[in-house]
Amino acid sequence: MEELWRLSATELADLIRSKSVSAKEAAQAALARLEAVNPNINAVVDYKPDDVLSQAAAVDAAIARGDELGLLAGVPVTIKVGADQAGFATTDGMRLQHDHIAALDNPAVANLRKAGAILLGRTNCPAVSYRWFSSNLIHGATTNPREASLTPGGSSSGAGAAVAAGIGHIAHGSDIAGSIRYPAYACGVHGLRPSLGRVPHFNPSFGGRSIGGQIGAVSGPLARTINDLRIGLAAMSAPNAYDPWYAPVALNGPLRPKRVAMCLNPDGLNPVPDVIAAVADAGRRLQRAGWVVEEISDTPPMREPADLLTKLWLGDGYEAQLEMAEREGDPGALACLRGLRDKVHPFDLSAALARRDLLTREWFAFLEKYPVLLIPVSGELPFPDNLDLKDEASFERVWHAQLPQVAIPLMGLPALTVSTGLAGRIPVGVQFVAARFREDLCLAAGEAIEASARPLAMC
């Protein structure tokens, strides 16, 4: 039999359910893979082998009793260190939170546990999850397993690197400004940012969130196949009473025409030629798969939503965040906050939310006309690692390129990064956006691309 860590989550779950493979065997294979490759990439920064095997034993016992099994029974998954997982520190990449041990699971983590997933290990992120890069002072840096000179993405950097390297079959990530979509892009895997309210998202150990966190941050899956994203989403989106934004909406909505709006240059992004080529090629693949693809000259506004999202995320409580970053002393966190000071001041919450209301309505109307939007993930190929720390011009270059990621969360929309291959030795991909709670449309479009692409080998 093929090495178990190489299988998709879907394939492994089927084998475990049919008793062809035990959960213990799957867990042992996952631990062996982690221990073989993680020292070179530092994707997983905390794990307890005995606990992993104990979880697997519980799954095998449930199978022996004939219990009803969860969707991911016996499937090893990883959890981002920014999410509460009972018994582990929620460091969010900070020394200041070294001893911040969670007593309860984040609802998304609890849902994965209820689905029978084996929680394999905790994945790295930049300090305070501020960056599209991955160094911090507590866990160190994560290396992109496909090309060490490139960022592995951020902030769910360890999640993207782990999935690309075969450490776990699905990774939990979180996304407020691209933190699922960009690591997937940089590491050559797929990543889904769900709609606001689709997956319950909250860290009980930290209390209430700012309004930016409430309306912008979501949990979601990264994986090597589109169907694994689908089952990961199904598991993570189970009902949970701890998130007032949660909405019990069916995972599959009414049929819509297979119609895609393709925009190569949204709101003055001016992508590099390799990015334009990837999006155009994805459009041709969709056409061959029976989709109607209409190239449009522009989307509804992106730059204003990106600016408003940044204000709501970082401008609300800016001075307190800066003081925390100064105590932590992390160069990346400080560069982010200091570099964005002018973008988040003055902070006017009422005005920001009023503009969000109107912009969201404009986007909803657009996505009523076009069920799916195809755009770049970033204006550039994955950046050289730590480019944002080089100088002020490089910092601005990074933020400009990430416009398509930062804009979408303001409206609460779902978005999917699909890996489409390599530009030379550098991963490249595209982004799909759909109406709220229509992740199914993004996934259907992504599956059409995946079906015509040669998947990247695991690192």
Q: How confident is the model over 343-376, as pLDDT tens digits? A: 999 999 999 999 999 999 999 999 999 999 999 9
The CATH code of the domain that includes 193 is 3.90.1300.10
Place of tokens 């190929």: 381
Is 352 within a domain?
yes
Radius of gyration of the chain (CA): 20
SS3 239: coil
109 pLDDT higher than 70: yes
d(CA 410, CA 193) in angstroms, rounded, equals 12
Q: What is the pLDDT of residue 150?
A: 98
Identify whether 179 is a catalytic site residue.
yes
Is 35 within a domain?
yes
**How confident is residue 86, by pLDDT bands cut at 50, 70 and 90?**
very high
d(CA 205, CA 208) in angstroms, rounded, equals 9
Identify whether 157 is a catalytic site residue.
no
- DSSP structural state of residue 52: H
Amino acid at 119: L
Q: Which helix (H) or strand (E) holds 288?
A: helix 273-288
Q: pLDDT digit string (tens) for 163-172?
A: 999 999 999 9
The domain containing residue 239 runs over which residues? 4-451
Choose, from 8, 22, 80, 219, the residue flagged as catalytic. 80
Is 213 within a domain?
yes
Q: pLDDT digit string (tens) for 40-64?
A: 999 999 999 999 999 999 999 999 9
Q: pLDDT digit string (tens) for 241-253?
A: 889 999 999 999 9
Order across the sheet with 76-80: list the strands. Answer: 44-46, 118-123, 76-80, 170-175, 218-223, 190-193, 415-423, 426-434, 372-375, 259-262, 292-295
d(CA 244, CA 160) in angstroms, rounded, equals 29
Identify whether 155 is a catalytic site residue.
yes
DSSP 102-134: -SS--HHHHHHHHTT-EEEEEEP--GGG--SS-
Choose, from 155, 156, 157, 195, the residue flagged as catalytic. 155
Which residues does residue 77 pair with via DSSP β-bridges, in sequence order? 119, 170
Q: pLDDT digit string (tens) for 182-215?
A: 999 999 999 999 999 999 999 999 988 999 999 9
Q: Determine the average pLDDT of the residues in 256-276.
A: 98
Whole-prediction pTM value? 0.98
Is 458 within a domain?
no
Choose, from 8, 22, 129, 179, the residue flagged as catalytic. 179
Q: What is the pLDDT of residue 2?
A: 66
Q: pLDDT digit string (tens) for 310-349?
A: 999 999 999 999 999 999 999 999 999 999 999 999 999 9
Is 96 within a domain?
yes
Is 456 within a domain?
no
Domain count, the chain: 1
Is 34 within a domain?
yes
Is 459 within a domain?
no
